[in-house]
Structure 1
Amino acid sequence: MTEISRLPGPVMELWEWQYQGSCRDADDTLFFHPEGERGSTRRRRAEAAKAICRSCPVMMECREQSLRVREPYGVWGGLSEDERSAILAGRERKTG
């Protein structure tokens, strides 16, 4: 018989918070910029995505996950790529 006591617990428990995300039914193109999008068009799209994040009950879980895995693209937890990069750089300066 296989010994299962050493297997990791259900992964679902680690990700279940995502089912509560306000973005779950939103158009994902709002959270990820198309190739070549720049300037005010990009800012308006990102601000619309962040507005959804602001009312999200799991915004902080999403934000921390995106920082933990260094998510390179899109708006996650109310933060853009540049904002996440700045936070991570600040953390590295403090520990480095």
Structure 2
Amino acid sequence: MTNREGATVARSSWVDEWAQYGTCSGSDPDALFVQGAAQQQAKQVCMGCPVIAECLADSLDNHTEFGVWGGMTERERRALLKRRPNVTSWRTLFEADRTRRVLSAS
């Protein structure tokens, strides 16, 4: 994975400074803070993003209320938080899942 400056990040690792690597990093941020049907179009920006998991984990861990983050609308994130109230760290959950997938692929 590379950022806009061409720096490479190993995909098996968690990216702490994820925002600079997002596919949305060079676009108008207001495009991700829309309502109604426009949210579906905003979510398309996230598809294929190399840091979608980091973005989603950050928004879930911080209970971000507005905008599309990690490919999910605020309503979708609220529903996920409600379904999984025992998750104390989405980052930890997603990191563990990524590690399992990397190990099973080797």
- TM normalised by structure 1 equals 0.68
The CA distance in 2 between the partners of 1:17 and 1:82, in whole Å, is: 23
Which consecutive unaligned segments of at least 5 residues does structure 1 have?
Answer: 1-13
How high is the sequence identity, in percent, across the aligned residues?
37
Alignment of 1:27 with 2:28, yes or no, is: yes
How many residues end up aligned between the 2 structures?
73
The CA distance in 1 between the partners of 2:28 and 2:79, in whole Å, is: 26
Structure 2 partner of 1:16: 17
Structure 2 partner of 1:6: none
Alignment of 1:69 with 2:62, yes or no, is: yes
One-letter amino acid of the structure 2 residue matched with residue 88 of structure 1: L
Is the 1:30–1:48 Cα contact (8 Å) retained in structure 2?
A: no
Residues 5-52 of structure 1: CA distance to partner in whole angstroms, max 9, x if unpaired? Answer: xxxxxxxxx74121100001111121112xxx5xxxx21x21121111
CA RMSD of aligned residues (A): 1.7
Structure 2 partner of 1:49: 42
Q: Displaced runs of 4+ in structure 1, greater than 6 A?
A: none
Is the 1:73–1:81 Cα contact (8 Å) retained in structure 2?
A: yes
Alignment of 1:60 with 2:53, yes or no, is: yes
Higher helix share: 1
Query: Which one has a bigger Cα radius of gyration?
Result: 1
